[in-house]
Chain A
Amino acid sequence: MNIENSKAQLRKGILEFCVLALLQKEEAYPSDVLGSLKEAELIVVEGTLYPLLNRLKNAGLLTYRWEESKSGPPRKYYSLTEQGKTFYKELATSWEELRNAVDQIIIDNKSPKEK
């Protein structure tokens, strides 16, 4: 087993959820999203984000609008659609449950020393 691999697997599974989470409060453009994700070490290479955004958009969870930028090319601001918000809420609930369950398992099975 490769530890980096396992970590990547874990991260990948929740990446989609995190992107929705970042966009649910307020609209953002990819560079903002990338900044947050990189800070949280959820993403290693930036290219990963674009196919993901595209897929979420095609699924009707995201929408975007163009905005001119003073310093560079125009920016694409993404936000959640109504469908996306519902979707996010559902995911958030199950994340909560999942987190509690995983925590419980980890605590229950801690080795005596750590307790």
Chain B
Amino acid sequence: MKKTVQVNLSGQVFTLDDDAYDLLSGYLKRIGGLYERSAGKDEILSDIELRIAELLLERKGDENAVVSIADVEAVTEIMGNPEDFEDDEIDVDEPSYSSRSYTGPKRLFRDPDSPLIGGVCSGIGYYFGIDPLWIRLAFAIALIFFGTGILFYVILWIIIPVAKTSADKLSMRGEPVNIDSIGKTVEEELNNLGDRFSEGGKRFTDGNGRKIERGINRFFSFLSEIFRGFFTVLGKVLGGLFILIGVFTIVVLLTGIIGVADLVHLNSHGWDSSYSVYEIGDLVFNSGEWFFMAMVGFFLMIGIPFLALAYGGIVLLFPKVRVPYLGASFAGLWFIGVILSIITGFSVAREFSKEETLTEVVPLDEFGLASDTLLLDVGDDPFKISESRAYYAHNDFMMRVEEGNIMVGNVSFDIRASKNDEASVEMNRSAMAESYEQATMRADAIKYSFQVDSNEISFAPFFTYPEAQLLRGQDVELVLRLPVGKTVYLSKGMKRIIDDIDNVQNMYDPKMVDHYWQMTDEGLNCLDCEESKSTSKMKFEGVSEDGEVKVDINISEN
């Protein structure tokens, strides 16, 4: 028993078996889909229906006979595979016959033929007419620096359509779209296809081949329906999320750049100072132009992927919305951003390539020190670091700009044995620049001072230099040279600047303050510290049968 369906083909009524109907309507739908965008779609379809009606009549002789699937198969065989109709010049937009061959505009597609991952780089390469290698390199660099490469790649993957048809591939490569060139790509394609099918096709050569093929097709279209439903929902959710993330990030970036928000906080320990990107930028870059370039590069490199993300979200939510050339513009702008960032990055890096240190030795005898014991202290601290935090503030870069001068609150202080019998202060000022001459000039521009009052020396916890010298790794290191036998007292304030002073007790810097220290042949020795040497014992107990090494470690502090 078979169900039948009545259809009207060009005014002629036919009775079709159910499966024959499925096949025929599927066939007509395929043709309709193929000429979807053609102005003559309806007419072509009705002409073809007319011809099918004729052929069916010819076959059956009688319009009342039931059309079987075999009839439909025979007729569609005569009509041919819709994809083979290949009238490549269906005018889609312009109904005029003016151009027999035209050079289509280049369009950005993903290249399905030579992808490394998704064919994005390859497609972009075609679009800009450069070797995809460079595009891939740009992505790789962006990956190393900020990791935005991955995100951007995924977004481009989503928003750039894959080149499906021959015409797509031609407009991807920018070759003129005409009969010859389409023939060329179609041929390539057929050759590829032939290779692929020569293996797989053999499976369907038995008598039931066609049926199996149809069954498989139906199964897969059923599967793809389910997947489509699932991904549509997922796509909408992701779309919303993408838009949210994209827009939020862009807003944050813009506010940062415009300077509404302070993006840079230079400290974490108890002193309060923050700078807008502009203030820091002026101190890092040689000129406003460089700074501008860096900002533009930075914004493009970071911002464009998020802009693209938001756009990707819109596309996911409203699949009909497609702005032509937007994908290409994103890719182009982002590429420019990467290049600007690299250029400005190098220009700044060059400014830090050479370092020079100026060393001055100031003998303390000149000041007529009154006694053998020196009292060491720090001067007024403009950064107002509380004593409890003084030592940890070393980790912060403390900076302030005042009256055309940059004030830096990081000074390091060490005590070492004197090479002669005189006490002296060694002052090392260093800075970086493009050349040693400039680095020397920069280092010399650093102003640092300490005061000596009878037997008390007061070191400033900061140094200054003119703002025009920019931030170029300026640094001040002090070394107090003590002859053997001399004693110093480190006041509590010294925590602020002492840095890794060698001593016999091997005491941790911040604990060294508020004690008297005498220079001996072995180094500084504490005169009034309680015995708080920590001892550690380690005893090797042998190797067990299963190869375990047994060691007894005993650390005690008394």
Task: Report which A residues bind B (CB closer than 8 A).
Answer: 2, 5, 9, 12-13, 30-31, 44-48, 50-55, 57-61, 71-74, 76
Contact = CB atoms under 8 A, between A and B. Distances in A.
Interface in B93-116: 95-97
B43 interface: yes
Given A47-B85, A52-B87, A2 B191 contact: yes
Given A2-B187, A2-B190, A73-B12, A50 B91 contact: no
B44 A5 contact: no
B437 interface: no
Given A5-B190, A58-B91, A72-B57, A47 B31 contact: yes
B313 to A, nearest CB: 39
Interface in B41-92: 43-44, 47-48, 50-51, 53-54, 57, 78-82, 84-87, 89-91
Chain A interface SS verdict (over half): helix
14 contacts: A2-B190, A30-B47, A46-B80, A47-B48, A48-B86, A50-B85, A54-B44, A55-B87, A55-B97, A58-B97, A59-B95, A60-B97, A73-B9, A73-B54
A54 B47 contact: yes
Contacts of B96: 59
B50 A76 contact: yes
B84 A45 contact: yes
B54 A51 contact: no
Contacts of A59: 95-97
Given A9-B183, A47-B80, A47-B84, 11 more contacts: A48-B85, A50-B47, A50-B51, A51-B35, A51-B85, A54-B44, A55-B91, A58-B39, A61-B97, A72-B57, A73-B53
Interface string B179-200: 1000100010011000000000
Contact of B48 (A12, A31, A50): A50
Interface in B229-267: none
Contacts of A9: 183
A54 B97 CA distance: 12
A39 to B, nearest CB: 15
B11 interface: yes
B13 to A, nearest CB: 11
Contact of A12 (B12, B91, B179, B187): B179
A5 B80 contact: no
A47 B79 contact: yes
Contacts of B81: 45, 47
Nearest to B56: A72
Of A45, A47, A54, the most chain B CB neighbours within 10 A belong to: A47
B352 to A, nearest CB: 61
